[in-house]
């Protein structure tokens, strides 16, 4: 998740949009509630559509290194093709320019996909209680042994 940049969270309680830290993004990824840095309310991402888009970020993060490899390979292939006389110098330059252009367009699109604001909902006390109860039960059981 650290490769993803520009992801913000919006607290439904204090109406503040803030940059998400890596640990907060990890908490969202494993659907664990965490504190709002401003109002200290317990927040979580409840929208399944946003959660799906958030989890897809891992795949988008792989596009960048993949594109670098692909672009370099194509540029080298174009140079070799010109060197062996397969294509002319103008064709080689045109091809290289097109590849570099596509490269930057793809990266721009990926950056656009990575930029998102997650609408974080406040967890109601009723949803927190079972976890606390479970923890208490676990502690009680541990102390018995």
Determine, following the binding rule CB under 5 A, whether residue 68 of this chain makes contact with Zn ion: no
- For Zn ion, which stretch binds (CB under 5 A), given 39-47, 66-74, 89-97, 110-118? 39-47
Helix axes 22-29, 48-55, angle to 10 degrees: 120
As beta bridge partners, residue 26 has none
Q: Compute the distance between CA of residue 39 and CA of residue 16 in angstroms, rounded to an integer.
A: 9
- For Zn ion, which stretch binds (CB under 5 A), given 10-18, 62-70, 71-79, 82-90? 10-18
Nearer to Zn ion among residue 14 and residue 119 (C-beta):
14
Which residue from 39, 73, 131, 139 is in contact with Zn ion, where contact means CB under 5 A? 39
Under DSSP, is residue 121 helix (H, G, I), strand (E, B) or coil? strand
Tokens for 91?
């064709």
Determine, following the binding rule CB under 5 A, whether residue 14 of this chain makes contact with Zn ion: yes
Which residue from 8, 21, 23, 38 is in contact with Zn ion, where contact means CB under 5 A? 38
Determine, following the binding rule CB under 5 A, whether residue 23 of this chain makes contact with Zn ion: no
* Residues in binding contact with Zn ion, number by CB under 5 A: 6
71-80 contacts at long range (C-beta below 8 A, 24 or more positions apart): 71/99, 71/100, 71/102, 71/103, 74/99, 75/99, 75/100
Determine, following the binding rule CB under 5 A, whether residue 25 of this chain makes contact with Zn ion: no
Nearer to Zn ion among residue 95 and residue 118 (C-beta):
118
């Amino acid at each position: 998740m650290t490769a993803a940049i520009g992801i913000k969270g919006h607290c439904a309680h204090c109406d503040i949009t803030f940059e998400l830290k890596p640990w907060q993004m990890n908490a969202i990824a494993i659907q664990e509630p965490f504190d709002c840095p401003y109002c200290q309310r317990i927040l979580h991402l409840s929208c399944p559509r946003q959660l799906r888009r958030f989890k897809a970020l891992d795949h988008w993060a792989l596009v960048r290194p993949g594109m670098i490899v692909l672009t370099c390979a194509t540029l080298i292939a174009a140079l070799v093709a010109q060197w062996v006389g397969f294509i002319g110098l103008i064709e080689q330059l045109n091809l290289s320019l097109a590849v570099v252009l596509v490269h930057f367009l793809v990266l721009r699109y990926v950056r656009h996909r990575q930029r998102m604001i997650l609408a974080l909902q406040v967890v109601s006390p009723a949803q927190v209680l079972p976890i606390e109860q479970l923890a208490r039960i676990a502690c009680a059981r541990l102390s018995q042994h």
